Structure 1
Amino acid sequence: MSDQEKNTRLTTASGTPYYEHEDSQTAGPRGPILLQDFILHEKLAHFNRERIPERVVHAKGSGAYGTFTVTHDITRYTRAKVFSEVGKETRVFLRFSTVGGEKGSADSERDPRGFALKFYTEDGNWDLVGNNTPVFFIKDPKKFPDFIHTQKRDPYTNCKSATMMWDFWSLNPESLHQVLILMSDRGTPISYRHMHGFGSHTFSFINAENERHYVKFHFKTLQGIKNFTDEEATRMKGLDPDQAQRDLVESIDKGDFPRWAVKVQIMTEAEAATYKWNPFDVTKVWSQKDFPLLDVGVLELNENPDNYFAHVEQVAFAPAHIVDGISFSPDRMLQGRILGYPDAQRYRLGANYEQIPVNRCPFATNNYQRDGGMRVDGNGGSKPNYYPNSFDNIYADEKYKQPAENLGQNVVADWYDRNSEGENDHYTQPGDLFRLMTPEEKQNTISNIVGAMQGISGEKRDLIINRQLCHFFRADISLGLGVAQGLGVDITQHATGTIHTN
């Protein structure tokens, strides 16, 4: 038998060649199946286990490989090797996703879109896990499970519930900035190629002199922004619920590679201490007038995965995956994600999820992690599984030590009110955003809000609507009036502190 024949013959997962792939072994031509047909067992048992737990959020996604190319020198801010010189290319994997829906949900749902990047750098994998919005609904991770529950299914009806969503948003005005973006036409992008991406959180750059600068990451689509109207998005759910996945695959297959201009905003520690907004509050943006966008490079997607499950479904992102020259900030939501994301991946894929090819660092890794399910790298062989030891030469390189972070105050561990005085203006930035919209964008946003809020039901309907309307009025009078009119709300009683719905 030739090597070619040996390499192509049918085998079990353990490598045993076999022939009877389509017929079960039975007692006679019409008799019962025999217990000893182990091929049947292997096929059915593996089939029963083909589905790994879907992500709690960002369950449905699309992804591709590509390159990040440095076009401008930012080494004065960071020593990260990914930015080390103009012209440097780094391989990346980018996964897009909807946030609240299940794997079978439609791509055109009104929802934020995940924008998660894995950079395969020589100092390890760097994950930048963001969205297509520069802000988020909440700013403390302790609120995250409650928020996500409201975006999922009602425990009684098992249906999506506008009442749950708007009840939560109206009780948490910090959400207003993100809600306004979601309810604009940017909540329904035409494709993943036609939307911006953001790191959303505040991160740190550390340069060769151990100086820290705070940074926000922006990815500006070079295809141009294109969005569905609410009517178009609703129609697309029925026509092609996978339209964004199809668009991404087909555009790359035909050589129309999606590209984004990569930019950053930079803030010094001194500026962070005096800025008018808390620079670590993910419900706020940094004004680009105060902190202009600086060009960094170009991101291009140019390679479709050869197998969706192996790459897109099994890719595992975590904000905890940083590299030398890039670090964290006191952003509370970021701090919570540092814990939550790796834990979610260990649950979903196992303790050794970083050995899966799409997650594996292509450069050397040395550590003392051992054992666990699906350990496929030899498990360290006979090498020591503890540190320090007298037998290997692995060492902790002091040049990678991060500098201390000066928070400018005597730090005390306590439970601080996230919306205390000075942290409780949830209206200025959403109002500014609304006033920047064109008349058509304003009308579409109001229409989308009205359509979404009309689903609020139950005995608390008026309470929830009135509470949310107060937030819209505080952001912008014309926004509040437009939504109230669309919902048929009589605002004549507003001066007395009450609003009545018809």
Structure 2
Amino acid sequence: MNDPILTTASGIPVADNQNSLSAGPRGPLLLQDFHLIEKLQHFNRERIPERVVHAKGSGAYGVFTVTHNITPYTKAKLFQHVGKKTEVFVRFSTVGGERGSADTERDPRGFAIRFYTEDGNWDLAGNNTPMFFIKDPIKFPDFVHTQKRCPRSNLKSPTMMWDFWSQAPESLHQVTMLFSDRGTPDGYRHMDGFGSHTFSLVNAAGERVWVKYHFKTQQGIRNLGAAEAQRLAGTDPDYAQRDLFEAIARGDFPRWDVFIQVMTEAQAAALAFNPFDLTKVWPHAQFPRIPVGVLELNRNPDNYHAEVEQVAFSPANVVPGLGFSPDKMLQGRLFAYHDAQLYRVGTNHQQLPVNRPRCPVHHQQRDGTMAFANFDGKPNYATVESGGTNPRAMGHGEPPLAISGDAARYDARSHEDDYWQAGLLFRLLPAQEKQNLFDNIAGGLSQVSAEIQQRQLAHFDKADAAYGKGVRAALKARGVNAD
């Protein structure tokens, strides 16, 4: 029997459920893509009041200190001079689990940082991995649904997970990271963080470069073996929360060295792959890490719900000197995060203490629930400049962003290699970590149909023949012959 035609909630047939509408193959996205917008909006409203993703988290206050001069790249005030300090709030999290889930589950970890700058809040909402499973936000609700619970059984489903991954070869790079030893970090203090997306920096001369952010743990990388992670899930499911809170309470403040990678617009145009593709990383040999500063966490919150649970990040929060890029996943998050916070926390969530900027605020937003800072009798409108405003480029002194291409839906899989970086990552792993990777993958893959197994094994083979061979051997050890 043929599957019914996919439609919007209004019954309109969906022309393409795999590719967002963009200006040219590399974006940015167009707001007129009503299917993408409706899909993200409904996804943001599926849970009350828990976050749909990153539901279980831990947080702390701290300080970011500049140790190296990067003013040739950015005019952002928080980087103004060496020694400058900026207050921060950081929230770590698991991604797919509910609030009551175990901290040691195999899952990416959220690594979201709020910088309370004198120009407003800068939110860098990243992960502990430099890449992600997908490159187009229209797939995000579908992907997350596969990591959650089956709507019929309310159980986690290896079939749902591996069916999606086997149909999306772009996910292989992140899947390799997830099922490696780094898929189960030993708490939050012993893992790195990444902005993951490509962002931009703008200097005082109005020159733009593309940038990626890296946070390297000073505590050293530590991971949990599968058996130990499973043991802790049963004996201390709040292991990471406890470790972070108790370390800060005893004065053992965790620290991360902060680096950036920088790419010029000319380098981006000449690159052999799309630098705005979230499933890819920038080679360090070509774009070396540049030291910037140190992030330290030194104060636990006074109230978990008021601060950790109600902190509301949005990648759209950037300050002058910082900016976005045509990264399609970033473009989708610029809308989705703020929209999720409006639903989850409330219309005036920015007025809560943990979300309130540390600088003066002036706007025309009034009323709504919890409007306890309602600007008294000040006008709730802005007067129109009858003589015009002489707008310059995109706003805070950044240059115009050149955009070309016909507005259409573009399938990147038709011309991009989704295997080479996954293969590079696989070959970097020591022999024992390779074996751990095979065993970790075989655990879930052994529970799905032969059709899904063969699709996924074909991806491993294309990344590296030894990758597919090792997973087949691990499956055979579990009684599954996938040859």
TM range (shorter): 0.7 to 0.9
Query: Conserved in 2, the CA contact under 8 Å of 1:217 and 1:262?
Result: yes
Map 1:398-437 onto structure 2 (within 5 A). Answer: 400-407=396-403, 410-421=404-415, 423=416, 425-437=417-429
What SS does the corresponding residue of 1:463 show, helix, strand or coil? Answer: helix
Name 2:381's counterpart in structure 1: 386
Name 1:43's counterpart in structure 2: none
Cα drift, residue 400 of structure 1: 2.4
Query: Conserved in 2, the CA contact under 8 Å of 1:95 and 1:117?
Result: yes
What SS does the corresponding residue of 2:408 show, helix, strand or coil? Answer: coil
Q: Describe the superposition over 1:154-206 as per-residue Cα deviations: whole angstroms up to 9, x where unpaired.
A: 01110000000000000000000000000001000011000000000000000
Letter aligned with residue 148 of structure 1: V
Query: Conserved in 1, the CA contact under 8 Å of 2:78 and 2:84?
Result: yes
* C-alpha distance 303-489 of structure 1, shift in aligned 2 (>3 A): closer
Q: Describe the superposition over 1:314-336 as per-residue Cα deviations: whole angstroms up to 9, x where unpaired.
A: 00001000000000000000000
Q: Describe the superposition over 1:31-72 as per-residue Cα deviations: whole angstroms up to 9, x where unpaired.
A: xxxxxxxxxxxxxxxxxxxx9601000000000000000000
In the alignment, structure 1 residue 462 sits paired with structure 2 residue 438: no
Which structure has the greater CA radius of gyration? 1
Q: TM-score, normalised by structure 1?
A: 0.84
Query: Conserved in 2, the CA contact under 8 Å of 1:489 and 1:501?
Result: no
In the alignment, structure 1 residue 440 sits paired with structure 2 residue 440: no
What SS does the corresponding residue of 2:409 show, helix, strand or coil? Answer: coil
What SS does the corresponding residue of 1:193 show, helix, strand or coil? Answer: coil
Letter aligned with residue 414 of structure 2: S
- Hey, what's the Cα distance between the residues in 2 that align with 1:441 and 1:284? 21
Name 1:501's counterpart in structure 2: 482
Q: Which runs of 5+ in 2 are unaligned?
A: 1-46
Name 1:278's counterpart in structure 2: 274
Q: TM-score, normalised by structure 2?
A: 0.87
- Hey, what's the Cα distance between the residues in 2 that align with 1:201 and 1:121? 21
Name 1:35's counterpart in structure 2: none
What SS does the corresponding residue of 2:462 show, helix, strand or coil? Answer: helix
Name 2:40's counterpart in structure 1: none
Cα drift, residue 489 of structure 1: 9.5
Map 1:140-289 onto structure 2 (within 5 A). Answer: 140-289=136-285
In the alignment, structure 1 residue 369 sits paired with structure 2 residue 365: yes
Letter aligned with residue 161 of structure 1: S
Map 1:50-129 onto structure 2 (within 5 A). Answer: 53-129=49-125
- Hey, what's the Cα distance between the residues in 1 that align with 2:65 and 2:258? 9
- Hey, what's the Cα distance between the residues in 2 that align with 1:120 and 1:402? 22
Q: Describe the superposition over 1:288-339 as per-residue Cα deviations: whole angstroms up to 9, x where unpaired.
A: 0000000000000000001111110000001000000000000000000000
What SS does the corresponding residue of 2:138 show, helix, strand or coil? Answer: helix
- Hey, what's the Cα distance between the residues in 1 that align with 2:474 and 2:435? 11
Query: Conserved in 2, the CA contact under 8 Å of 1:261 and 1:297?
Result: yes
* C-alpha distance 403-131 of structure 1, shift in aligned 2 (>3 A): same
Name 2:308's counterpart in structure 1: 312
Q: Which runs of 5+ in 1 are unaligned?
A: 1-50, 491-498
- Hey, what's the Cα distance between the residues in 1 that align with 2:354 and 2:406? 41
Letter aligned with residue 420 of structure 1: S
Q: Describe the superposition over 1:70-118 as per-residue Cα deviations: whole angstroms up to 9, x where unpaired.
A: 0000000000011111000000000000000000000000000000000
What SS does the corresponding residue of 1:419 show, helix, strand or coil? Answer: helix
- Hey, what's the Cα distance between the residues in 2 that align with 1:326 and 1:420? 32
- Hey, what's the Cα distance between the residues in 1 that align with 2:317 and 2:390? 18
Name 1:34's counterpart in structure 2: none
What SS does the corresponding residue of 2:293 show, helix, strand or coil? Answer: strand
RMSD of the alignment, in Å? 1.8
Letter aligned with residue 429 of structure 2: M
Cα drift, residue 412 of structure 1: 2.5
In the alignment, structure 1 residue 482 sits paired with structure 2 residue 470: yes
- Hey, what's the Cα distance between the residues in 1 that align with 2:233 and 2:209? 43
Cα drift, residue 420 of structure 1: 2.7
- Hey, what's the Cα distance between the residues in 1 that align with 2:469 and 2:256? 37
- Hey, what's the Cα distance between the residues in 2 that align with 1:78 and 1:293? 16
Name 1:450's counterpart in structure 2: 442
- Hey, what's the Cα distance between the residues in 2 that align with 1:430 and 1:401? 38
* C-alpha distance 204-192 of structure 1, shift in aligned 2 (>3 A): same
Cα drift, residue 389 of structure 1: 5.9
What SS does the corresponding residue of 2:407 show, helix, strand or coil? Answer: coil
Query: Conserved in 2, the CA contact under 8 Å of 1:161 and 1:455?
Result: no
- Hey, what's the Cα distance between the residues in 2 that align with 1:272 and 1:489? 45
- Hey, what's the Cα distance between the residues in 1 that align with 2:226 and 2:107? 12
Name 1:473's counterpart in structure 2: 461
Query: Conserved in 2, the CA contact under 8 Å of 1:52 and 1:349?
Result: no
- Hey, what's the Cα distance between the residues in 1 that align with 2:432 and 2:275? 31
- Hey, what's the Cα distance between the residues in 1 that align with 2:48 and 2:457? 42
What SS does the corresponding residue of 1:67 show, helix, strand or coil? Answer: strand
What SS does the corresponding residue of 1:488 show, helix, strand or coil? Answer: helix
Greater RCO structure (CA 8 Å; 6+ sep): 2
Cα drift, residue 256 of structure 1: 0.3
What SS does the corresponding residue of 1:501 show, helix, strand or coil? Answer: coil
